[in-house]
Structure 1
Amino acid sequence: MEAQPHHAVHYVNRVGWLRAAVLGANDGIVSTASLMTGIAASGASAQAILLSGIAALVAGAMSMAAGEYVSVSAQADTERADLAKEAKALRTQPHAEWAELRDIYVERGLTLALAGQVAEQLMAADALGAHARDELGISEVATARPVQAALA
């Protein structure tokens, strides 16, 4: 019997942009409100307060977007470097990589024999994907997306 595709809807795939959006919104509200309060306390006109608020919103949004892009780009670079290192290890020492994956599954509660079979089958289907997910913790859901983070 062929396995049916999994269609449950989960929200974890939104965590990257949601985190950036919440952080950006919070930072924008607090810093802009603080600046506008300070300008208002100086006795500035309503027009000056509004203009400073708009300027703070634009400057804050640009700063947060640039910061998110740079920081998430660094994460993406690290992921790529780790994947390249793993791909090389899979080419040069496949048995050691199989044993490493098997041991990960044993630590998660599988018997040694079953863990070896699981490692073998997953590596036959997509060795780098199996190691990325189970050894490095890199998955499609959690992978770094700099542009998405900056836009959020």
Structure 2
Amino acid sequence: MKSFRRHTESHRTDSIGWLRAAVLGANDGIVSTASLLVGVAAAGASPGTLLVTGVAGLVAGAMSMAAGEYVSVYSQADTEAADLSRERSELEADPVAETRELTAIYVGRGLEPALAQQVATQLMAHDALGAHARDELGISEAFTAKPVQAALASAASFAVGAALPLGIAWLAPAASLMVWVGLTSLLFLALLGAVAARVGGASMAVGAWRVTFWGALAMVITAGVGRLFGAVV
């Protein structure tokens, strides 16, 4: 008799939760810190002021990312919990109607009615709530909200991303600091976009271009604002 083993194949979507938070955090760390440094440098600030500004931006940004990601993902988790609670009540109140609902879902996906009925019945007997969570509500383990994981990933990746232009600002000559920070930050963004696209199975060139374009735009606008206010002051 043929034996069946538990499905253990890994997929890119298995890491989508932490990957999204990590890429977003690192991208924001590079863009916001580099833009901040370039803008303050364009206003004529001293190297010491630039470093203090950069460190403050790193700390504030990391905490802001962590808090924002935690609140956002926790709201998603609350919504999922509420939907699951309601579905659990419906299963207890009328399992027959819930079986029909699941059957209709499978028929809509292309199964013959008799087979859809059989599949729905067997899945209901095995794990009714899990079947409805996955096929009716669209909640799966890979996409389940994990607030703490997302918050820590965002804060850590933001700090790492922000440390890159900050380190360049510390090492670069004061006379050409804007150029060094701007160009190296665009390089960091291109690498980040390419790596994220590679991990996600998308085009590396498109991923690199996308984040580099928006990063360059942010730095140009911030530099213009810094120069304008520096001239006024």
Range into which the TM-score falls when normalised by the shorter chain: over 0.9
Corresponding position of 1:27: 28
Q: Deviations over 1:84-140 (max 9, x none)?
A: 000000000111100000011111111100000100000001000000001001011
Mark the structure with the bigger radius of gyration: 2
Per the alignment, in what secondary structure is the counterpart of residue 136 of structure 1? coil
Q: For residues 27 and 35 of structure 1, what CA distance do their matches in structure 2 show?
A: 12
1:46 aligns to 2:47 (yes or no): yes
Which stretch shifts more, 1-10 or 31-40?
1-10
AA aligned to 1:18 is: L
Which stretch shifts more, 65-74 or 47-56?
47-56
AA aligned to 1:90 is: L
Corresponding position of 1:135: 136
Q: Deviations over 1:12-47 (max 9, x none)?
A: 111011111111111121111111112112222212
Q: Which runs of 5+ in 2 are unaligned?
A: 154-233
Q: For residues 149 and 7 of structure 1, what CA distance do their matches in structure 2 show?
A: 24
Count of paired positions: 152
Alpha-carbon offset, residue 7 of structure 1: 2.4
* Larger helix share, 1 or 2: 2
Per the alignment, in what secondary structure is the counterpart of residue 141 of structure 1? helix
Q: Which runs of 5+ in 1 are unaligned?
A: none
Structure 1 runs (4+) deviating above 2 angstroms are none
Superposition pairs of residues 1-152 of structure 1, within 5 angstroms: 1-152=2-153
Percent identity at matched positions? 67
Computed over aligned residues only, the root mean square deviation of the Cα atoms, in angstroms, reads: 0.9
Alpha-carbon offset, residue 52 of structure 1: 0.7
Per the alignment, in what secondary structure is the counterpart of residue 139 of structure 2? coil
